[in-house]
Amino acid sequence: SNMMKVAVVGGEGIGPEVTAQSQRVLNWFAVKRGVPMTLREAQYGIIPYLATGKVMPPDTVEAMEEADAILWGATGGPETKEVPAAARKAGSLLGLRSKYDLYANLRPIVAHPALSDSAPLKASVLTGVDFVIIRELTSGIYFGEPRGIETLADGQRRGFNTEQYTTDQIRRVVRAAFELARTRRNKVCSVDKANVLETSVVWREEVIALHAAEFSDVELTHMYVDNAAMQIVREPRQFDVMVTGNIFGDILSDCAAMASGSLGMLPSASLGPVDRFGRRKALYEPVHGSAPDIAGRGIANPLGSILSVAMMLRMTMNRPEDADLLEKAVASALSGGARTADIAEAGAKRLSTQEMGDAVLNAL
């Protein structure tokens, strides 16, 4: 059947608050637009840990196992210190990415003209910004071995990690970038540090080889990561699709958040390999974290999570018109003046998380 299964996992901090709103939006598309889907809510983090001793209880594992798409909230925060490292590790976000081999992390950066007053960048720099960072998510220094902490003969300690990429790990994520570029402005910028790191030398050579073999119609450029961090702030409009490794993508996408106005606005999709039935597990989550400082106050911006639903409609549900509809509703809520605290100018009315959900539903 084409009935898609969605696991809804709010998690910790502001995760459950923002996810409650994107779940309302998902329901709207199921009911009003007949998008075929089943939703299954599941718990993650400190709450199930206190009740069951597990951050990821068996019911949650099962919900995610059977799901086509996971709508993920957030994880982390001070109270999670109560969870011993071993219990935490057994069901971490990094563990999930690895378990489902979610190697391609897409982070679209779109500037909303309505938000330029509260953004740190000038409107003249923001206008027209529309690019996607594709971050490799299951390899690199996040997962490289050996790693650890050792005590040296002289009593000093030494921490060490391994950055690494293989041909296949590079090619599959770069392929995703070239394919996405073909549906957009046909430009890929590959970011590395090939003037210093052997890992990046291999990265760059594999990008060049794949481009020559299969994607020579796509315009390809290369940029060092330090320069990319600067160019994202200086002239973000120059980018269409940017592809890079795990740690560079982590840093650059937060840097790029400011080119969209606010971190709270940013959605993401993490895609696994296509299986022999043509299915592809995907996890959708806002780029922001658990924001413990504002958790429980009902003031978080749900738009990063709601825009992640738009990505789900486009990529898992194969409903591009519905995705467009939702993105337009968000834009129209914003241009109608709807603002949560993180995107409000001084003195402007601030909506609660729930009211921002209402504003989007009203615009639908």
Q: Please enumerate, by residue number, every residue annotated as part of a binding site.
A: 97, 107, 135, 226, 250, 254, 289-301
196 near ligand IPM, judged by CB under 6 A? yes
Size of the site for its own copies (CB under 8 A): 57
Q: Taking Cα atoms as reference points, which of 43, 41, 38 lies closest to residue 5? A: 38
With CB under 8 A as the contact rule, which of the stretches 4-12, 42-50, 53-61, 139-147 interacts with its own copies? 139-147
Q: Which does 225 bind (CB under 5 to 8 A by kind): ligand IPM, its own copies, none?
A: its own copies
The one catalytic residue in 44, 49, 142, 165 is: 142
Tokens describing residue 113: 């003209």
Q: Which does 122 bind (CB under 5 to 8 A by kind): its own copies, ligand IPM, none?
A: its own copies
123 near ligand IPM, judged by CB under 6 A? no
38 near its own copies, judged by CB under 8 A? no
Is 254 known to be catalytic? yes
Size of the site for ligand IPM (CB under 6 A): 5
- Measured torsion, CA atoms of residues 280, 284, 287, 291, in degrees rounded to the nearest 10: -140
Q: Taking Cα atoms as reference points, which of 97, 112, 27, 12 lies closest to residue 330? A: 112
Nearer to its own copies, 252 or 363 (CB): 252
On the CB side of 131, CA atoms within 13 Å amount to: 29
With CB under 8 A as the contact rule, which of the stretches 33-41, 100-108, 146-154, 328-336 interacts with its own copies? 146-154
**What is the C-alpha to C-alpha distance for residues 247 and 334, in angstroms, rounded to an integer?**
32
Q: Taking Cα atoms as reference points, which of 233, 252, 234, 235 lies closest to residue 243? A: 252
Residue 198: C-alpha distances to residues 27, 89, 94, 205 (Å): 48, 30, 25, 11
CB 104 within 8 A of CB 70: no
250 near ligand IPM, judged by CB under 6 A? yes
267 near its own copies, judged by CB under 8 A? no
Is 142 known to be catalytic? yes
Bridge partners of residue 148, in order along the sequence:
160
Residues that bind its own copies (CB under 8 A): 76, 94, 120-122, 125, 141-142, 144, 147-149, 152, 156-168, 193, 195-203, 206, 225-227, 229-230, 232-235, 247-248, 250-255, 257-258, 263
